[in-house]
Chain A
Amino acid sequence: MTALAEAVAGAGGVAPGTPARRGRRGAGAWRYAVLIVLGVYFLVPIAASVWFTIRERDGVSLETYAEIPGAEGFAEAFTRSLALAGLTVVIALVLMVPTVVLVNLRLPRLRTTVELLTLMPLILPPIALVVGVRSVLAWAPDYFFGTPLAEAFFALQEPALPWILVFVYVVLALPFVYRALDAGVRGADLRTLTEAARNLGASWPRVLVSVVLPVLRTSVLNASFLTLALVMGEYTIAVILGFETFPTWIVRISGSQPQLSVAVSVLSLVVTWLLLLMISALDRRRGTKEST
């Protein structure tokens, strides 16, 4: 399990900085073969998608991209996904920042359990999880009908802003959020800092807000961006529970407007790219600050 946990740490998408040993001269033309073949494999679909969206009968035009904002249902689905992402980020952080700090500073014996639980969503197929969630939601009409609990269940499934998606997305984000925050807590000497704050008379909530959060700023941003990317692209849970989000909207319009669906896909690739560039820029800034 530990190697898997190590493996997840890398999935965050931030480039590690240590340079490796220089290669030996002449050894390995295979390296160029690998680079060329995989380079073609990774670039062709992107180039082809872009070409697919800009070609017209008489040349090239960006019209498809201009159509996106006004497309039927786009604004609604996109803002809903953004709102879901924002709520997921907030709940995931409120839940995990205190937990990670506590586990590292005060409750180390819970570490293994917490680690295992946060890794579970990575291994567990989301489709299996969502079938379980659906079964639980079905209890409301089946068993609790007419009770306040049933009302609460129905409120969770409001199509305009389905909170149930937020709660399930928090679970899906746990592996990334936990790993990002855990790395931040271990990197900073949080124990000394919190002990100093406690000795000076700060309460625990005060310590969390004025000491822990500023120290963890980069990790918190890292976790937030990854969660944002995850929610904006999540399809399985939303479609099985029957809600329309950004990805399910793309699929809905793809039949009638293939060019538009590809254009939106290209754009979402660009946005993911920008988000991750921001993470790595932030990471580098922290790196230079620490070295001076």
Chain B
Amino acid sequence: MLLGALPFFLYVAVFLLLPIGVLAVEAFRATDPVTFEETWSTDSVRAITEGPYRRAYVGSLQLSLITAVLGAVLGLALAVAILRARRGRLLRRLVLTASGVLANFGGIPLAFAFIATIGTSGVVTALLTDTLGLGLGGFTLYSMAGLALVYLYFLIPLMVLTIIPALEALRPQWREASDNLGATGWQYWRHVGGPVLAPPVIGATMLLFASAFAAYATADALVGSTVPLAPLQIANALSGDVLVGSENRGKALALGMVVLVGLVMVFYAWVQRRTQRWLA
């Protein structure tokens, strides 16, 4: 019987664990520029903690943290709004189907939709500057703020989809009980709804963080390498310059991303344990 599960484990070992393992080893290799001899070295790993690479990591962490939190708050608000709407069946269906589509609508097409909207020659840009004479107030799509605006377009729907089941699991009886005991809306959320929702909300926020942190296609199509982001630096190291050793730097940068995501997951597991203990 164990044999039946073997293909799965083999597959995952070859196509998921092996590449990551190779990354972890080869990030510590260096090629001599003259003799092309390979040696062990921490040069690449040390290089990525400085200068533009460090800025790229910080930029990526900032962008994903801000968009994850904003996406979680707005997505939660939207989810609560459609669940509690009167005569809301149609509205709820509409928002949920749209969320399903838009959460899967990332990457390249999304970038071009925004370029057509508020890019340099976008429709809304033209409307605001030429027709209304307002201008964009210093906003540009090709910046960190622009990326955040685009990322939210798939992060908010993702939040709605992931948090709706948890919201539906909140029993109406709990609210009725707390109302009957004279609790205010705030007290209900502070002592009942909030604690029950905390673990799924934190989990969903982590998921948003991971998607924003990993997003490469949208950033590549929008800003090239003008905004400091780790995925863009990796692509640069692999293709842009032909310097010897840039390939190894790409590996080190990729390993750095894996390590950062790993650290965030460890933190997440710790928070989950804490909240579970708090609930118990």
Contact = CB atoms under 8 A, between A and B. Distances in A.
A10 B108 contact: no
Nearest to B255: A128
Given A129-B20, A134-B238, A233 B261 contact: no
Interface in A161-177: 167-168, 170-171, 174
Contact of B104 (A124, A125, A129, A229): A229
A96 B12 CA distance: 11
A153 to B, nearest CB: 12
- Interface residue SS majority, chain B: helix
Interface string A142-180: 000000000000000000000000011011001000000
Contact of A124 (B8, B20, B83): B20
A20 B166 CA distance: 12
Interface stretch (A65-73, A191-199, A260-268): A260-268
B199 A44 contact: no
A42 B80 CA distance: 18
A110 interface: yes
Interface stretch (B39-47, B49-57, B115-123, B132-140): B115-123
Contacts of A213: none
A229 to B, nearest CB: 5
B168 A45 contact: no
B223 interface: no
A131 B250 contact: yes
B116 A135 contact: no
B258 A49 contact: no
B12 A53 contact: no
Interface of A: 1, 3-4, 6-16, 18-23, 25, 27-28, 30-31, 34-35, 38, 41-42, 44-46, 48-49, 51-53, 55, 95-96, 98-99, 102-103, 106-107, 110, 114, 117, 120-136, 167-168, 170-171, 174, 226, 229-230, 233-236, 239-240, 247, 250-251, 254, 258, 261-262, 264-266, 268-269, 272-273, 276-277, 280
